Amino acid sequence: MRGHLITTALAAIIILANPTAVVLSQLPISPASNSSITNVQEVAKIPAPVIEGLELYQAGDIEGAVNKWTDSVLALINDLPTITEEDTQKKETIITLLNKSRPMLSGMLGVLIQDYGKCKGYSVIKSVPHGKNAQSTYLEIKHENGSIFMKFVTLKTDNGWRINQYNFSQNREDILKSN
């Protein structure tokens, strides 16, 4: 189980540090609507760290949103037990990579906001439970001139919901097919 959690955390790093998740050459998908949230019941299914980051993002605080989401991933990693020196080294490497990815992620989202305009809200495309303690949430983030799409994989721990991974794309299908 511990090895699986470390492997999962490493997968999160690869996804977070992969700049190909955003394809900046595509045109906006659809015009944004003025509605902040399309379905209040669906929002109740979104774990707190995701919503808190979305609220920061919608307020124009991209760096704050990325920090909120990345801090949640770090909290999950810090919850992992380390038994051997190798475990500790892996954990430290992951933490270093995550912290180094923050400016890159903020920058990529900043470029999208330059192209798409201010965030006008978000809606849940779908929320997929994976048992009682995990779920994938797919979102459309609506901007003045189009939408971007995000996926969050979250895990419920003894310390509350944590983000295991998140990624974004201008292409809805990229997000929906990502595992």
Tokens of 7: 């492997």
Average pLDDT rounded to a whole number, residues 146-170: 95
Q: Which domain holds residue 53?
A: 2-177
Percent residues over pLDDT 70 in the chain: 74
Contact 159, 79 (CB under 8 A): yes
Query: CB count, 10 Å around CB of 87?
Result: 15
Which phi and psi angles does 2 have, rounded to 5°?
-60, -45
Total number of domains in the chain:
1
Pick the range with the lowest mean pLDDT from 36-45, 68-77, 146-155, 166-175: 36-45
- Indicate the burial class of 49 (C-beta count within 10 angstroms; 0-12, 13-18, 19 or more): buried
Tell me the per-residue pLDDT of 26-42, one tens digit each, with 9 for 90 and over.
223 333 333 344 444 44
Q: Characterize 151-170 residue by residue with b for buried, 16 or more Cβ atoms within 10 angstroms of its Cβ, and e for exposed.
A: bbbbbeeeeebbbbbbbbbb
Rounded Cα gap, residues 8 and 6, in angstroms: 5
Pick the range with the lowest mean pLDDT from 43-52, 137-146, 167-176: 43-52
Pick the range with the lowest mean pLDDT from 19-33, 94-108, 128-142: 19-33
